[in-house]
Chains A and B, each alone.
Chain A
Amino acid sequence: MTREPEDIHAALAALADGTLPEELRESLLARVAETPELAAELEDQRRAVMLVGSLERIETPTLLRRSIELAVAGDTATTGGERRSRSRSVRLPSRLIAGVAIAAAVVVVLVLVLTTGGGTSAPTVLQASDAGLRSATGAAPAENPHNPHLLAASAVGISYPYWGGRLGWNAAGTRTDTVGGRTVTTVFYANSRSRRIGYSIVAGPALAIPSGGTTVEHGGVSFHVISHASPAIVTWREAGHTCILTARGVSIGTLMRLATWRRA
């Protein structure tokens, strides 16, 4: 056989993963049988194929799978919804649509006034989480000199955690908002890939948990996944207040690991 070594290496790779054409198999196997070094190389190739093949048992983490499935379902529903909306608009007269819209708006306003007495109602978790997506207006808090697991920043008595060092999420700034009459204090964290997470704490009584999300129990605390992506939102209650992590381009898995990271 006068094949170049590179050809032989390529052939050995193909032989090991079963993609070598049948007509080349016999001649290559014969050469392998008479050449110990080739035999050792083929053995390495087969071992690697087996080792890498063993990774097939690794499955996607449940939360990530759920995130993707929801995102795909949302995408499909949006597409279908647009189709349905377009077809309806062809059939219904525009005056009728406008009338229905006005009537619906009146009903919504009446319901809000009657149920809240016209005053300010507590924000939803979703509304409060918006603060975590805005820009920082204050400097990044320093590390807590007395506790390596905390930052030197707190809101309503709850200290913000230190996620720098090996966790890779350093404090990057702060901001304070008023949402629905509540003070929402946010500390931003950023990693080396320029991803950002907003950690918001809402003052006052805990907000209602939206129904329909995923709940993960950890260390006696219920973590609720409000949105799996774009943005990903996780909320939980601490000391009677609502804490929220919000981020774009960061998986729910990462938010959950940070949210459940132990504190001293």
Chain B
Amino acid sequence: MPALDPESLPRHLDRLYRAAWALCGSPHEAEDLVQETFARVLARPRLLRGQDELAYLMTVLRNTFLTDRRTATRRPRVSSTTIDEIEPVDPRGGERPEEALQAQEVFTAIAGLPERYRLALIACDIAGLSHREAARLLDTKEATVATRLFRARQFVVHALESSSPSKDGDAREEVPAREDLPARREDEPPARRLRSESTP
């Protein structure tokens, strides 16, 4: 069984950082999460059980995130916000403010998704795992991953539309608030039927 090669890890760093940001919704919490993930991975030799390195790292990242969150919920919440508003000391050269703002909006929209949709989108669209790899990561079926991905993308697009003022008066479907997002299972009938199926 192949072992994880520590020297190859930094090349996955950007993807992991973006995935962590999407998980947490905060770039600073993402830094802590990535650092903790690598500390865990480097603490002892790791065997890749049929996964490639990125899929393995994503598994550790997700587990670290979930462990941290469980710890947090056991403790009284002292602040609902983080240090996002602190002036960055390491501004990335060349990044335009509007691009940074848009990126933050997209990350926030993803972080606002219910967990199962968020994890599917992060695994496939941010980390770049295949649907099969994502299904293994999330311990579900490929078809379920694809369906969750569909829903996740819908919510992200609608959330971003609803958060920005309409320029052309295009009245698109109102996006439900996070707590109103559908809780149905993938094997339940969708709330909205396809028009083609309701017409002969």
Contacts and interface: CB of A to CB of B under 8 A. Distances in A.
A38 B14 contact: no
B6 interface: yes
Contact of A194 (B17, B38, B71, B156): B71
Interface in B120-141: 121, 124-126, 130-131
B154 A14 contact: no
Contact of B79 (A45, A76, A167, A251): A167
Contact of B190 (A6, A13, A167, A216): A6
Contacts of B195: 35-37
B194 A55 contact: no
B177 interface: no
Contacts of B158: 44
Given A48-B153, A166-B79, A72 B6 contact: yes
Given A37-B195, A54-B102, A192-B78, 19 more contacts: A5-B193, A6-B147, A10-B143, A10-B149, A47-B157, A52-B156, A53-B125, A55-B18, A55-B107, A61-B92, A64-B31, A68-B34, A72-B6, A72-B38, A216-B89, A230-B39, A249-B36, A257-B88, A260-B89
Nearest to A37: B195
Contacts of A116: none
A38 B198 CA distance: 13
A61 B90 contact: yes
Given A19-B130, A48-B157, A58 B86 contact: no
Given A5-B194, A68-B13, A230-B39, A12 B79 contact: no
A123 interface: no
Interface size class of B (residues with CB under 8 A): 35 or more
Interface size class of A (residues with CB under 8 A): 35 or more
A26 interface: no
Interface of B: 6-7, 9-10, 13-14, 17-18, 21-22, 27-28, 31-32, 34-36, 38-39, 42, 68, 71-72, 75-79, 81-83, 85-90, 92, 95, 99, 102-103, 106-107, 110, 121, 124-126, 130-131, 143, 146-147, 149-154, 156-158, 160, 186-187, 189-190, 193-197
A123 B56 CA distance: 42
